[in-house]
A and B are shown apart, each in its own frame.
Chain A
Amino acid sequence: MIRSMFEAFKNLFKPVHTVNYPATELVLPKGYRGLIEYDKEACIFCDKCEKVCPPGAILFYQPLEGEKEYRYNPWLCIYCGECVRACPKPQEALWQSETKQQSALKEDGANEGWFVWEAACKQSREDFKAAKIKNKSEESV
Chain B
Amino acid sequence: MKKTIQIPLGSQHISLLEPIRFKFECENEKIIGVDADVGFVHRGVELACTRSFEFKQVGYVVARVCGLCAITHSLSYTLAVEKLLGYVANDRIKYLRMLMVELDRIHSHMLCLAHTAENAGFEALFMQIMADRELVMDLQEAISGNRVQFDFIAIGGVNRDLTPELSALIHKNLELLSDKIDTLLGLFDNNWSLSLKYKGVGVLTLDQAYTYNALGPLARAAGLATDVRVETSDFPYEALGYTMVLESTGDIHARNFVRLREILNSIAMCRNIVDNLPSGEIQEKTKGKPSGEAVVRVEAPRGELFYLVRGNGQNMLERVRIKTPTFSAIPAMMEVFKGSEYADAPAILASFDPCMSCTAK
Contacts and interface: CB of A to CB of B under 8 A. Distances in A.
Partners in one complex: yes
Interface of A: 1, 4, 8, 11, 17, 29-33, 52, 54, 78-82, 85
Contacts of A82: 57, 60, 154
B30 interface: no
B151 A80 contact: yes
B146 A79 contact: yes
B241 to A, nearest CB: 28
A46 to B, nearest CB: 17
A29 B141 contact: yes
B145 A31 contact: yes
A80 B192 contact: no
Contacts of B154: 82
Contacts of A52: 56-57
Interface of B: 53, 56-57, 60-61, 124, 131, 134, 138, 141-142, 144-146, 149, 151, 154, 159-160, 165, 187, 191-192
A70 B160 CA distance: 27
Nearest to B122: A4
Contacts of A80: 60, 151, 159
A48 to B, nearest CB: 12
Contacts of B192: 1
B138 A4 contact: no
Given A1-B192, A31-B142, A54-B53, A81 B149 contact: no
Contacts of A31: 142, 145, 160
Contacts of A78: 60, 149, 151
Contact of B138 (A8, A17, A29, A54): A29
B124 A8 contact: yes
Contacts of B149: 78
A81 B57 contact: no
A29 B147 CA distance: 10
Contacts of A32: 141, 145-146
A17 B131 contact: yes
Contacts of A11: 124
B61 A54 contact: yes
Nearest to A4: B191
A30 B191 CA distance: 40
Contacts of B57: 52, 54, 82
Contact of B159 (A8, A29, A54, A81): A81
A32 B191 CA distance: 40
Contacts of B142: 29-31
Contact of B145 (A4, A8, A17, A33): A33
A97 to B, nearest CB: 12
A131 B144 CA distance: 46
A78 B145 CA distance: 12
Contacts of A33: 144-146, 151
A49 to B, nearest CB: 13
A103 B64 CA distance: 20
A4 B191 CA distance: 8
- List the 8 closest A-B pairs by CB distance, nearest first: A33-B145, A54-B57, A80-B151, A29-B142, A54-B60, A17-B131, A33-B146, A29-B141
A139 to B, nearest CB: 34
Nearest to A86: B56
Nearest to B144: A33
Contacts of B56: 52
A54 B124 CA distance: 41
Interface centre among A17, A29, A52, A78 (most CB of B within 10 A): A29
Given A29-B141, A31-B142, A17 B61 contact: no
Nearest to B169: A29
Contacts of A79: 145-146, 151
Nearest to B151: A80
A67 B341 CA distance: 71
Contacts of B145: 29, 31-33, 79
Nearest to A28: B141
Contacts of A4: 187, 191
B131 to A, nearest CB: 4
A8 B124 CA distance: 9
Given A1-B192, A30-B165, A78-B60, 17 more contacts: A4-B191, A8-B124, A17-B131, A17-B134, A30-B142, A32-B145, A33-B144, A33-B145, A33-B151, A54-B60, A78-B149, A79-B146, A80-B60, A80-B151, A82-B60, A82-B154, A85-B159
